[in-house]
Amino acid sequence: MKYYYGIIALSGDRISFHAPCLIVATNEANALEKLNDQAAYLYGKSVTKAPGVYHFEDCGYTAVVQGVAEMSASSYQEMARLSGIAISEVPSQLAEEDTTEQVRTLARRVGSHLAHHGAKVPHSKLLHAIAASIGETDWQVLTHRHAPATVETLPSPALETTPEDSALAQPKGQPFIPGTGFLYEVPVTVDVTASAFIKVRAATKHEAIALAREFAADGHIELEMDEGNYRRPGDYYVGDKDILEPLDDDEPPTPDDHQDFAQVQRGAYRISLVDADDDMYWAELDVFDPNSEEPIEDSHMTCLPMDASPEEIRAFCVRVVELLHRGAPKPADVEESTILHAFTCAVQGDQSDEAFASYEQELRKG
């Protein structure tokens, strides 16, 4: 995909001005087509006077397409931050779109409106909020429900079990690391039970119970661990909470059934790719700070196309998050602006090894 800057000239009764538009398209012809679509719907339905000339009878304005010029991805993103810049999209009727497209369209429109008023909200948060407003749990649930099953997640490692594990129906070791944020090692304990059926001779039930308990206590019977006991989270307890401290995070970003291939965490950094645009993925960054309950957040359109394979998506996420972790393993020691600039460059700038080495060097300088 390529990035373009377009101009629409608007004129009316004693007024004239220019509307700049930022466009993502496959080529110049496609960009010009999108610019014409934008001009034709700026103020509702228009009347075409000539190629590239559109008149809106309700307001009396006439829109004239001036043309497009190609620009770099970084320039596109910087200009998109400026208030008053219109990001070109065809404002089609929502009723004509499917549910996921409706949410995407509304998220873009709300995001542009908020940015115009100085409030920058990450793309993913807008998607989740709008999805929730129509009764869905969140954006991911909505897209998975409506998306065709054409993309498979990467295979997860097999879980090995041993006879010793079978009593608790637990895999040996830990198959994946749940949650997000800093890495902790938590000592968890659960009380287990063991049972056996013991034959005794007794005159009453109470005598039988007493004999069986004494027989078991003397070690004359082999008890078997109970399986299938239902245990709630409250049945697992931590004896000493004061020993919990964040660990040095050396865990590799490996996929599993509980982690989407489009989301990777390494140390204090988490990268998530969101299909929030028709052509390119958006990247969401969370930087966890031990001094704050809320992570630092940022989002940018990436240079990764929507038709990328799961392996390409995963590799993209891993490469960016590893760069940030190597260059600034302790985010508190580096200026926030330096981290965010490196993130921007890594997801939409030069993707060569030499460029990534320079991004890492800037991070190390702090």
Q: What b/e sequence results for 194-214 when a residue is b if at least 16 CB atoms lie within 10 Å of its CB, and e otherwise?
A: eeeeeeeeeeeeeeeeeebee
User: Rounded distance, CA 175 to CA 170, Å?
Assistant: 10
CB 79 within 8 A of CB 22: yes
Q: At what angle do helices 73-80 and 336-348 cross, to 10 degrees?
A: 130
Tens-binned pLDDT, residue by residue, of the chain (366 aa): 677 888 888 888 777 888 788 887 778 888 888 888 888 877 777 788 788 898 888 778 888 999 888 887 767 766 765 544 555 444 444 555 567 777 777 777 677 667 656 676 777 777 777 877 777 766 666 666 555 443 333 333 333 334 333 334 444 567 777 777 777 788 888 777 788 899 999 889 998 888 998 898 888 888 887 765 666 777 777 777 777 777 766 666 554 444 456 788 888 888 988 876 567 888 999 998 767 778 888 888 888 888 888 888 888 998 999 999 999 988 888 898 999 999 999 998 889 999 999 999 999 987
Check residue 279 and give its pLDDT.
Answer: 79
CB 187 within 8 A of CB 240: yes
Length of the chain, in residues: 366
Check residue 116 and give its pLDDT.
Answer: 58
- Model pTM above 0.75: no
Check residue 84 and give its pLDDT.
Answer: 43
Check residue 341 and give its pLDDT.
Answer: 92
The closest of 104, 114, 26 to 68, measured between CA atoms, is 26
Check residue 171 and give its pLDDT.
Answer: 47
Per-residue tokens: 324: 């940030």
Assign 161 to helix, strand or coil: coil
Check residue 339 and give its pLDDT.
Answer: 92
